[in-house]
Structure 1
Amino acid sequence: MVSLTEYKYICNKPQPVTFSKCGELESRAASTAIFRQSSTQDMRESLQSGDEVMYVAQNVTDFSEEYIMGLLKKAQEDSRNREIFDHVHNIRAKALEPMFYDFMNSVRSELPHRYQPLLESVNNFQDLNKRVSALRGDHGFHVALENASKPFCGKYEAELGFWKQYAALEAINTDRNKVVHCSVAASAAALSEACDKSDTLDTALAMVEALANFGAKHAADLDASAEEQWKEGVALTQRVKQKRKSKILRE
């Protein structure tokens, strides 16, 4: 929750006017409110942090009501997003492993016998994606896997290939979904520089260095693979959105 208390000068006496519930105005409008703050950026960051903040009115010209309400609206949106991520974390912790075993039992019961050995030692969705990626040249296996997954997907109204977005789920789950959209080469260069100039990565410095060096040498192939996976993810998302929209229209 963001609770912003401003002090509005009336007859030279500060009078509290409160915003709460992330932007719902409980009292008078803030058209004459301004806030003592070192910079506009500081105010924005404070509001977006979700912490309780307080500002004191100085004069009536610095911030408009529209600007203040815009910040509060953004804080409300950020709060909703954090709540959504909390729900992702909750359901992932409780349902992901059971869903995986249910899915694999269903797939194994449908998959032709000759492909069964290819799923040995697959213990989670990450393992499955690694195995599928390693067998990308085996068209027959991919078709068989998709067909074998249809009963499960039909039962739960899941999109075929949903498991391909496992890494994206993990990114959301760790609140690291703000991906830097640049090339592997650019990231490798930035991380290599950070290894030299910053202590931020010390807890995983050897791993980061190895990734940066590997990435720099294989940047083109890695970017191409990531782009292909991204396109698959976008296509999956679009199919799910269309399916859910059609379902709503039918109801």
Structure 2
Amino acid sequence: MASPPAPSPEERRRLYSLQDEIASGVVLVDRFSEKVVAGVDQAFISGKDGGEMVVSGAVAFDPSLSLISKSWGLLETTLPYLPGLLSFREGPAAVEAVKRLATSPTILFVDGCGVNHPRKAGLASHIGVSLDVPTVGVSKNVLCGTFDPPRQVGEASPLLYEGEEVGYVLFSKKRCRPIVVAPGHRVSVESALDLARRYLRDHKLPEPCFAAHQQANEVKSRILSGEFSF
């Protein structure tokens, strides 16, 4: 499991072209329900030779946040960390985990950007278009765009990129940095914010994101302990 090499200029151009295709397929109109609300997140396992495995955890709930099912995916990374290209590094394992859920999500929270991305094709958009699943991206950092920092818990400021509103920066929890909420696919900008607020409980992240984060790290721990093999 050797460390993946950096892509050549030709490969980068190919990946950018694929992102343009993803962006062209994004729908920013509300076409979702809350029958099955899910989240997906990733963790990483480093090998002694510098290679990495991506562990993806997915969790599905009903609208009251009663658990429906959990799943996970595990794949070797094929790209190093490259800002703007995380969908190709993390996306395959995330797609695998979502496909393994007992019930397909009708709205999926993704730990990553949506259209708040230089080519409007972040991980949430990548997964959403690939699976034709409505997605909301929730990230901890602003990848692109400008905003006025929100000052109070519950306050949200529009995130603007190239003159377009691509998401919101939401002050979700006291004594925590704001989070970035953006549509990925089949969700409008306003509904992405509404959904994030609706599923906030006691954590900085909306509950489906928090649960997926826990699932990914639990699977990682069980793999490292030898309970799960790969």
Larger relative contact order, structure 1 or 2 (CA cutoff 8 Å, min sep 6): 2
> Going by fraction, where is helix more abundant, 1 or 2?
1
Quick check: which one's strand share is greater?
2
Query: Normalized against structure 1, the TM-score is what?
Result: 0.27
Report the TM-score, using the length of structure 2 for normalisation.
0.29
Instruction: Pick the structure with greater CA Rg.
Output: 1
